[in-house]
Amino acid sequence: MTPDAEPRELPSAPEPPSHSHILPRIGIHLHTEPPDGFEYWIPTAEELDNDEGGLGFFHETWIITGLTREDAAAIVRAESALVQLLIATSDGPDQFDQLARGIEGSGELPDRLEADHGGPVSADVDIAVLSAVEVGVSGLVHVLAAIGAYPAASCRGHTGADAWARWPVVYFTARKELVRDIRPLVAQSGCGFNLDGERPEFLVIEGPSIRETMLLAGLLLEHPMASHDWTQMSISWPRGESVPSEKRARRHVDRADER
């Protein structure tokens, strides 16, 4: 968006979930500044054309482009509705995660959830949209993509020895200017930046629970990003999911000068 561009009405985001005692949460030390020495970069056209996997070849991801803020806003709203439904149905963090995993695996709301807690909340839940990325980080992944970043992988955070991450994380890369723009919002939301020593080419946004990552998604959605060119968008998508036809038109950009 150039300084002289016409003002546009930004999509609004729902309030972040309350009842935080129901949401899985873990105490972590948060860094509100991006790591020193990170080499900022954006993918080349060849990397975006890769059909073998997503950025960084994380397990079961591929690249999708063409996402708008309006697309992301719809996902944020659906995610919020689903989390409200899960909170109303769960008696604690373990059950919340168990129910969320079941919905993500099946792509459907369990019959008893609709029967016991139906109505306006469940009517707003679009499982077809949400099944692609885990509940609680899906909104953030899509909003990051819509403002010009390049998400590569994400996880809501799980317990157990086989957990890929124990707290919410989103791996991404972006231009330095965009990271500078979002830094205050990352801090405001209660999230932070980090680096994974095994994947140093990606920045990590992390939070103690999905309440913070969902809050950050809403803050980013409503904040104008002066450094963003609206034609530069991409996200990663799990293998096996059908890709909406309107998201197949790819627009590529050259690697950033900072690389």
Q: Mean pLDDT throughout 53-59?
A: 72
Q: Is 119 helix (H, G, I), strand (E, B) or coil?
A: coil
Q: Is 247 helix (H, G, I), strand (E, B) or coil?
A: helix
User: Residue 8 in contact with residue 192, Cβ under 8 Å?
Assistant: no
Q: How far is CA 66 from CA 145, 148, 181, 243, in A?
A: 9, 10, 21, 11
Q: Mean pLDDT throughout 208-232?
A: 79
Q: Mean pLDDT throughout 23-35?
A: 94
The answer as to whether 223 is a domain residue is: yes
Whether the pLDDT of residue 174 is over 90: the answer is: yes
Q: Mean pLDDT throughout 2-19?
A: 52
User: Residue 204 in contact with residue 157, Cβ under 8 Å?
Assistant: no
The answer as to whether 175 is a domain residue is: yes
For the sheet with 192-195, list strands across it. Answer: 150-155, 169-173, 203-206, 192-195
Inter-axis angle of helices 210-221 and 69-89, nearest 10: 150
* Residue 210 neighbours by CB under 8 Å, 6+ apart: 17, 23, 24, 83, 135, 136, 137, 156, 157, 168
The answer as to whether 142 is a domain residue is: yes
Given this model, what pLDDT does residue 233 score? 40
The answer as to whether 155 is a domain residue is: yes
Question: In total, how many domains does the chain have?
Answer: 1
Given this model, what pLDDT does residue 179 score? 96
Lowest mean pLDDT among 43-52, 70-79, 160-169, 182-191: 43-52
The answer as to whether 232 is a domain residue is: yes
The answer as to whether 137 is a domain residue is: yes
Q: Mean pLDDT throughout 101-123?
A: 63
The answer as to whether 154 is a domain residue is: yes
> Which DSSP helix (H) or strand (E) runs through 62?
strand 62-65
The answer as to whether 213 is a domain residue is: yes
Given this model, what pLDDT does residue 246 score? 36
Question: What does the block give as tokens for 209?
Answer: 């629970």
Lowest mean pLDDT among 144-148, 182-186, 234-238: 234-238
C-alpha to C-alpha distance for 133 and 144, rounded to whole angstroms? 13
Structural domain boundaries enclosing 155: 45-65+133-247
Binned at pLDDT 50, 70 and 90, residue 27 comes out as: very high
Given this model, what pLDDT does residue 18 score? 58
* Residue 151, amino acid: P
